[in-house]
Structure 1
């Protein structure tokens, strides 16, 4: 298993500045528990051996560690004994003791403990249905209804859900907990008040969720019994659910708890494991990704949410979804909108008007709200309606429903300005006819409607027509989603991984999904996210395991990918197919996976980048039917995605554009006839296009090799990049985001050091390295060098930095991991020949920063090297080296290098 390497670090993840160099603190970057690590032992993972064996392994490690550290200097927070991982989570009082742990005999590797935010949800309480609704649309989209009609509802399959717990008292979820109930087991790893790094976990055996909701929603997508109030129908509603609570009422968890839950779900025999959680990383090698992948490789289906960072552009994958053998799940939007509450009007031909709620919104009781409209602007094209204090001649809006156009500021600002004028009810009309979840902050009486409906209300208002609007509490509508239904959700994260693995793998419905919700919080809610798509995929997997046997678990990703349906970029007739970096192989088709009598493998062809291009591939087709069949083979290209703006190293933000510049594909056969039980192979040659794209934009090529026969269409997916990724700039040496090029040396106040400077290292007067990555890197190293040091070939040239400062909050502690391998004689390459004085710190498998809420990181420079050795007082520079994607770690020429200004370290 690969590890991070680091000394003591500080991390600041800061938001995009409104003024170039004054940044406010953000929540976008990764956070770590500075005093905790996960240790993996050198002992091979155990399988079903006795607990005595596991106890002895742990005891030997503790005995070795106690020879090096006082017993009160550390605490064992978790012990892991399984067929996939042997180790422990250790918490220390002094972060410098982490180095001692790393060098303890019996330690194979030491990993950082990342903190994960609780899944962010916007719940829409759907209230009471006026009448029994029709079929539950998400299961129609994936053919699950047809599998149900064939009698398969997943009975006998065990599904583990690692989430916020579950409200098992919900009638649609069986109304109980334990053997004989739908929710047959599980565990609470955290308790109600756990907060990583703040308050401890208090585990117990009851995974009840009555304060978060996310896990209850996930459980309903998998297992809700039909014929409930909204006919929410679980994908595998006869399967048994085992729920592992890893988020408390306060939110947040960490790797050590997630590792324990993953191992428990595996050891307790769950056939399918669902994780609707994650955090940005983009590499397959983060510790949780690796363990999840190990579990999948042994024969479990592990479905993990791809992430909700579609706005950040390509190459922005999530962990643990990046695990090589897991199924990373993308989201498509529901083909229906709703159920939605409506605004009724006294206007002829207008209404009922469906609307979407804001956060934590409850329907407005129309019994006391028959209101005239007041429009804050008569201009239907205004771009900043109600973004400032309303004019002095505005009437008291207490008796109105105030109509406001979207745009120019947040929904919360608009609602606040209406409230300042006495208003209570706010109707914001969109700039198109799409629906999404608006955020009105704490404002309780605001809704979003479609542009068409808003313009109708405005037109009647401008004609001085006398009419009122009401907000009925009961009764809903479910209009068709004619704008985005069936398309990849805008929020769904875009891959691939930096090491060019195919992520996400495929998609299921996740945008606008109605499911169960804790009964004390409303019983049903509509949520958006790959968190909602993942349990749908987990449920489909359970149906296929029920139909084909547990032995197909290792092939589940291939089965579902090859039988999935194409996803277009738009709903236009001439639309390009969506890039597979966004949608995966396509929309899962449960009935095709269940009923097709042809198998195709592999499910995906990994082309890599042009420096490591894999040109030749072979696909295998097997006729498993009882009839002779003729198969036709053809190339179906998807749109080519352009990662970067032309002439810029900054990534294109979502939606990332597509162009019609496909890879060139040659097939060894275009048709072939197979008797029952026979197979054939087709050679596939794939090369980048010779024209139509610019390599510097890092075009992502993708598409399918289609295999068609009577009544069946299967596809093998491919993905690659038409650029040598070693040529892609890693460090952001432009002022486009921060106003200055990075890396730079800054002080605690954020002032950039441009000239030699002596620091006292007293009361926070110390230097930090601030760096921003425009692309990922497998290795970042910061070394101390002499004040006269120069590289023969500097790789990141810097002009003198302007007088500037970067403002932010500094979070001291250990970020990254510790490389326990010997430093002697490891590399004979040019990298190791660079004359450095010692390591200050390093990162491995680091993400790229985004332009939204995660703009740079920092590393403090202290008076000691990473190994704890004191630095001799004197004048020094920092050498920073950033490995190019695909580069050789031993080759200095494969790094971007930076040399800092001179700074002084005083005597103690």
Structure 2
């Protein structure tokens, strides 16, 4: 992808100036590493034997062929340790080298651009702006080792973890395993992330043999930004960012006086650093890290980073992650924080058959410590660590009316008493937290408590930063109102103190606790596989950060909790040799469904929560293995209405299984789509909604081949589940609704022990072939897409351009596609696109009409290959995903190709467009389930003609 500002030019032709609303992005914001590609070599046994080569010789010969082709290169990473799955290298080549050129070289199997991967930022909260460096949100620990200090970790005994009350553990059943002494001993876990501050005493204080973090590697160095050369090092240490340290602590933090610990604190931990200080990685580093895990004999890998892929097994990271599962290495990955992108926005490497994609829920409980209110008892407040302030302080409320939303949003009045020795309490709302804190600090406040507004998202961790405040904490709404009552009814003033003490258990989040988090990405994949797989607490999770403790939120936090839980099960059930696929099934089928809203009895959609929130105690106890662990019913054109479920009874006694079902919340992809008789599909809402509506599914039936099965110990049996076709109107189908639910399996052993299992299912009540692929709106850029432009002037007719100031073609994908082609074609080509050549200056949505389809059927050759082209501009081997619209780093993403006249011929050689000859650009995107050999299977756009001046 090329993104560029182009200078305004004097042109001969038809142009319209749309500069007011047309703002291309700077090329530095590209989501790809400049001029860098994965080159996969065909290392199959048949290919190697035919050429008489070893895998390593094949790679060397292919790289030599690249250079012989006249393409000088430098190797970024070599991938030679797993020739059966992915053999090749990532290379950097001169600017202008195309995917097509590399794909045509002898020995090359596939080519992908190397993609930048940004470590997920904390999901935003409307009235809160997090610091750019998450380590600034920490509170420091008193005891900390020097990096240069060489020593071994002193490991707390197993008894130190008994009586576990850490809130994410209590909610997920990890506490019961800790109380039983199950702590992950003997299991090796690797974290792929942004580096780790192992000098933090809760992470053992050192690195290497004898230390808690005993192995690892730095693949990139501090200064890696995706555009420069990574500098490798054997030490994964960093304090310039806290993401990796926080993730590592969720897995393995050691017992301490604060009351938190990691999920698997006795597991052997390692860290592979794949991102620099600016939190940018690239997918070739992630692949290198995953391959390193094989050499280090790792059991579980956690990857709390990724990027949109839309499909399964479509990127090098996904391919390697899936292969690792066949080798007994479980990959657990965060599902992403891109909920505002809407449905069908799956990320890699999380999206996979064996890989576990973890979404996030809001915890049932708050992270809180107790403040003591004189003569009144205690009140919990949220902070990474207890304030630890000595003495008593009088309370002061800036407003005694809890309904005032703009509390402290303006400067405090001159009548305000001295606040230096008081605890100032304010209500959330009316302005950003930063504004409130600045006004309070200006008035002399040092200690501040902010209480939540009613029925609002949980509060974030507050950063003191440079405000001059000493401490800032959060309160639930009900606790703020309680303190206000004390304040109003204590004539001489209410005193409060903040003693040192551990976390307070059981502080209930009565607003969003237990629901899917507001940022957790939706599925499904374009292949209509379940995404996310399941969920775990991810909001406001307390863990280690650089130099201390901090609270962070995201699927980055839910994923390591599950990775640690995996280790607990593997440690306790080691003799069973559970495969990653079996582990995934155990966790999915024993999960607990999350409600669609707080307190609701309706489960959230499967494409929101997956199988539900993990229940580690149930997974440990489960001796029934269920396959498959999810039922994907597909779309209405390819419906899998009958599914077979196999039960394997690993109990020591016979078990009788009975079956039932329930339905989850329906959800739509396009909120405002309207059925069009002309187009036989959606006539608007080409872009999936960023806030998809709930949908009440029409009734449908789930029938079982038998209502019960008795399976002897060690036996296996199967039953079938049949789903009736739900009746949807054409209008409903135009919104692409997803219906979902659960098959419930109740297992009763001969000794009357009972356990329940849940198998999620979902289907699409529309045809994937009807999903619009090319964006034909002006939502992202302003002008209606696609279009051809020179500078900020958009072509509306034939134009003549200079090679020094070439035109650029702009387009976006509103959905993923299995085949995308951008070709240079003759200006007089006999072809009618499905989208008009000129979409501007009109701001109306480009229509896909019956008339256009009829023209296409008459004018377009039957076969895709029959369309005459001059050469290829962009023809990726992989399946491109949908573009970002809201939450990307730009914030949107698009395709912007500068047409400098160069193209790739079918034989892989480079051609150059002639001067004075008329050309067009032809974009074709395959509809998701359509036949790629047919021309009618593609959405297409043909640009206005252009020619190069002499």
Q: TM-score band, normalised by the shorter chain?
A: 0.7 to 0.9
Tell me, yes or no, if the aligned pair for 1:45 and 1:81 is still in contact at 8 Å. Answer: no
Q: Name the CA distance, whole Å, in 2 between partners of 1:896 and 1:623.
A: 49
CA distance in 2, matches of 1:368, 1:493: 45
Q: How does 1:674-685 map to 2 (within 5 A)?
A: 674-685=711-722
Q: Distance in 2 between matches of 1:890 and 1:661?
A: 36
Pair 759,620 (structure 1): closer, same or farther in 2 beyond 3 Å: same
Match for residue 79 of structure 1?
A: 78
Cα deviation, residue 22, structure 1:
5.8
Does the residue aligned with 1:535 lie in a helix, a strand or coil? Answer: helix
Pairing of 1:328-727 with structure 2 (within 5 A): 328-340=357-369, 352=379, 354-355=381-382, 372-375=396-399, 380=403, 406-407=428-429, 410-412=432-434, 429-433=451-455, 434-437=457-460, 444=467, 445=469, 449-452=475-478, 472=498, 474=500, 477=504, 479-518=507-546, 521-522=547-548, 524-546=549-571, 547-548=573-574, 549-572=576-599, 574-647=600-673, 648-649=684-685, 650-654=687-691, 657-661=694-698, 663-691=700-728, 694-710=732-748, 711-727=754-770
Distance 1:651 1:31 in 2: 21
User: RCO greater where, 1 or 2, for CA within 8 Å and sep 6 or more?
Assistant: 1
Q: In 2, distance between residues paired with 1:397 and 1:103?
A: 76
Q: Which residue of 1 aligns with 2:237?
A: 208
- Aligned pair partner of 1:783 in 823, 827, 834: 823
Q: Summarize the alignment of residues 18-29 of structure 1 with structure 2, pairs less than 5 Å apart.
A: 21=21
Question: Using the alignment, how far apart are the partners of 2:92 and 2:743 within structure 1?
Answer: 50
- Alpha-carbon shift at residue 569 of structure 1 (Å): 1.9
Q: Given the superposition, is the C-alpha separation of residues 735 and 98 from structure 1 closer, same or farther in structure 2, using an over 3 Å criterion? A: closer
1:866 to 874, 880, 903: 903
Is residue 395–residue 487 contact of structure 2 (8 Å, CA) maintained in 1?
no
What value does the CA root-mean-square deviation take over the aligned residues? 3.9
Match of 1:758 among 789, 800, 811: 800
1:552 Cα deviation (Å)? 2.7
Which of 180, 193, 196 is the aligned partner of 1:166? 196
Instruction: Give 1:267 shift.
Output: 2.5
Distance in structure 1 (CA, Å) of the matches to 2:117 and 2:203: 27
Deviation at 1:848, TM superposition (A): 3.7
Q: Output the CA distance in 2 between the equivalents of 1:458 and 1:739.
A: 49
Q: What CA deviation, in whole Å up to 9, does each residue of 1:490-528 have, x standing for no partner?
A: 22111111121211111222222222333xx22x22221
CA displacement at 1:405 relative to structure 2: 5.6
Q: Is the 8 A contact 2:100 2:874 kept in 1?
A: no
Note the residue ranges of structure 2 that are not aligned, 5 or more in a row.
6-18, 47-52, 123-133, 143-159, 674-683, 749-753, 845-859, 905-909
Residue correspondence of structure 1 range 42-53 to structure 2 within 5 A: 42-44=42-44
- Once the two structures are superposed, the pairs formed by residues 169-188 of structure 1 within 5 Å of their partners are 169-188=199-218
Report deviation, 1:325.
2.4
Residue 63 of structure 1 aligns with which residue?
A: 64
SS in structure 1 opposite 2:637?
helix
Map of 1:247 onto structure 2: 275
Moved more, 88-97 or 156-165: 88-97
TM-score scaled to structure 1, two decimals? 0.83
2:776 equivalent among 733, 742, 752: 733
Q: For 2:704 and 2:199, locate their aligned partners in 1 and report how far apart those are by CA, in whole Å.
A: 56
Structure 1 residue 632 displacement after superposition: 1.0
2:97 aligns to what SS in structure 1? helix
* TM-score, scaled relative to structure 2: 0.80
C-alpha distance in structure 1 between counterparts of 2:178 and 2:426, whole Å: 45
Instruction: Tell whether the 8 Å contact from 2:595 to 2:601 is kept in structure 1 after alignment.
Output: yes
Shift of 1:408: 6.0
The answer to whether the Cα contact below 8 Å between 1:646 and 1:696 also exists between their aligned partners in 2 is no
Q: Which residue of 2 aligns with 1:810?
A: none
Q: Which residue of the partner structure matches residue 847 of structure 2? A: none
Displacement of 1:661: 4.1
Q: Please report how far the alpha carbon of residue 866 of structure 1 lies from its aligned counterpart in structure 2 after TM superposition.
A: 3.1
Could you say if the C-alpha distance between residues 776 and 796 of structure 1 is closer, same or farther in structure 2, counting changes exceeding 3 Å?
Answer: farther
Question: After alignment, is 481-490 or 315-324 more displaced?
Answer: 481-490
Gaps of 5+ in 1: 1-7, 13-18, 47-51, 805-826
Question: What is the alpha-carbon distance in structure 1 between the residues aligned to residue 390 and residue 25 of structure 2?
Answer: 42
CA distance in 2, matches of 1:45, 1:263: 21
Note if 1:125 corresponds to 2:138: yes
Q: 1:463 to 1:587 in 2, by over 3 A?
A: closer
Figure out how many residues of one structure are paired with residues of the other and give that number. Answer: 847
Deviation at 1:34, TM superposition (A): 1.4
Q: CA deviation at 1:409?
A: 5.4
Moved more, 20-29 or 172-181: 20-29
Aligned to 2:106: 105
Query: C-alpha displacement at 1:113, in angstroms?
Result: 0.5
Distance 1:392 1:889, change over 3 A: farther
Q: 1:294 to 1:787 in 2, by over 3 A?
A: same
Distance of 1:644 and 1:705 partners within structure 2: 27
Per-residue Cα deviation, 1:178-232 (whole angstroms, up to 9, x for no partner): 334332312121223322213x322222222333222222222222333x12232
Task: Give the distance between the partners of 2:782 and 2:233, measured in 1 at CA.
Answer: 50
8 Å CA contact 1:495, 1:582 repeated in 2? yes
Cα distance per residue 1:4-33 (max 9 Å; x no partner):
xxxx63379xxxxxx982658599986111
The answer to whether residue 31 in structure 2 is matched with residue 38 in structure 1 is: no
